[in-house]
Structure 1
């Protein structure tokens, strides 16, 4: 609760938190706000925006409701972004904690694995993985996480290398605490805040990567996404630009909200460390 209060006191954090809260509410209430399958044909094709009260933002080439697509696309984008960030942070924490705490050959071996993953651009890695394995939401999440975990791993390792030399860690060794217990109880909680601040950046990058994959036709074909909606309007951009503009605006708002939240979270965590 104290962290939330500190977060809401920063302008970036307050705006970002409001944006994400609204988006989360839309995602949770998507079946209520727009019941039914958003991929089903709902009306006449290519209805312009604000011309029919039943379709405030118009319809696409197949007669699907644009509002329904944006609402359900919110759920997909947040699900992919949060799930990919959780997976990347979990892998990164495990690898970074093990490498930093164990040191020696284990540290060298794990860091060479991190280097190998960082050589390949994350988007190209996700693109290749989805192309080979197939397109579905879990596969897209895994593909994005595979390209995102090295940065949390490096950051965690750096934090662990600094923390494990401190007096309270040495005291834990003296009283006979097991190394695993020291790593999990004494080192991990103190190494976590900077990694959590990085997680918001990973969420934003994951949302953009998912949109790009869907735009290229590599998203889940059974799920509506903002990227696929933008791609749908690409071929008729001159006659019906709204088909790409509205999901594009939703994507921009979401990414900006996540980045603002990240800035606020960084300041809130820094403030808490100063108070401590």
Structure 2
């Protein structure tokens, strides 16, 4: 059975894929749907949703289009989530592979580094990192990845420990391949599938962390994000609750869709292992 069919047999994975596909399509089409700066003043302030055809979701305190901000905010959330997950998986996979394959003192040293990073909660680490440096999108991505790479590292190490004694690894040693080449070319690709399944959880966590940083005013001030939109609506929560509710619902949909997609990936990989 192909990987696509295995994934299609997971209802939660299909639902998550549809949600993420919709969000990704909206994010990619943001410059077409709402060209120009979404932070510009577009109309009168605090227009309620569904009362003006020009502003279907209303405007905020400064007269900015909420729908335009929501669509452009999807780009920021997906960029941060996917980029942070890629960096975290890359760092964690390499560290975990080297630790598991080398063993001994190298394994001990690398895993103590992992422990040191894992002691500090990821959000606090990101908060401290962004507070010290100038808030920007690359800094936020790196800050979130620094708190998320330990999970992939531990999972990759566990997979490598079960792989390194297999016949094809022994054959690579016999023909004289360098240990580092064996670890990165032969072992790492076979240890990646479970780590990639974990990446969905990292994406969801990264989206939430970015929203929390933006809510606290530590996001990139030059772009619109769902966290900054929620923070903007906090001042008029009683008179215009939609300013916080609408981006909050978008955030919930993104996180739920990502988790469901991750469940589908996990089910697909587990079925593949059962058939192998």
Q: Note the alpha carbon deviations across 1:75-127, whole angstroms, 9 max, x for none.
A: 00000000000000000011111111111111111111111101111000000
What is the number of equivalent residue pairs in this alignment? Answer: 276
Alignment partner, residue 233 of structure 1: 233
Alignment partner, residue 273 of structure 1: 273
- Cα separation, 2, equivalents of 1:222 and 1:108: 43
- Cα separation, 2, equivalents of 1:177 and 1:103: 18
- Compute the displacement of 1:157 (Å): 0.8
Superposition pairs of residues 117-266 of structure 1, within 5 angstroms:
117-266=117-266
Alignment partner, residue 105 of structure 2: 105
- Cα separation, 2, equivalents of 1:130 and 1:41: 28
1:46 counterpart = 2:46 = yes
- Cα separation, 2, equivalents of 1:130 and 1:160: 33
- Compute the displacement of 1:2 (Å): 3.4
Matched position secondary structure for 2:47: coil
Q: Which runs of 5+ in 1 are unaligned?
A: none
- Compute the displacement of 1:180 (Å): 2.5
1:9 counterpart = 2:9 = yes
Q: Which runs of 5+ in 2 are unaligned?
A: none
Alignment partner, residue 56 of structure 2: 56
- Cα separation, 2, equivalents of 1:3 and 1:35: 38
Q: Is the 8 A contact 1:96 1:157 kept in 2?
A: yes
- Cα separation, 1, equivalents of 2:169 and 2:234: 57
Q: Is the 8 A contact 1:19 1:254 kept in 2?
A: yes
Q: Is the 8 A contact 1:19 1:257 kept in 2?
A: yes
The 10-residue stretch of structure 1 (185-194 or 148-157) with the greater mean CA deviation from structure 2:
185-194
Q: Note the alpha carbon deviations across 1:220-246, whole angstroms, 9 max, x for none.
A: 111000000000001111100000000
- Compute the displacement of 1:63 (Å): 0.1
> Which 4+ residue blocks in structure 1 deviate beyond 6 angstroms?
none
RMSD of aligned residue pairs (Cα, Å)? 1.2
Alignment partner, residue 33 of structure 2: 33
Q: Is the 8 A contact 1:8 1:17 kept in 2?
A: no
* TM-score, normalised via structure 1 length: 0.97
Matched position secondary structure for 2:249: helix
- Cα separation, 1, equivalents of 2:256 and 2:241: 22
- Compute the displacement of 1:5 (Å): 3.1
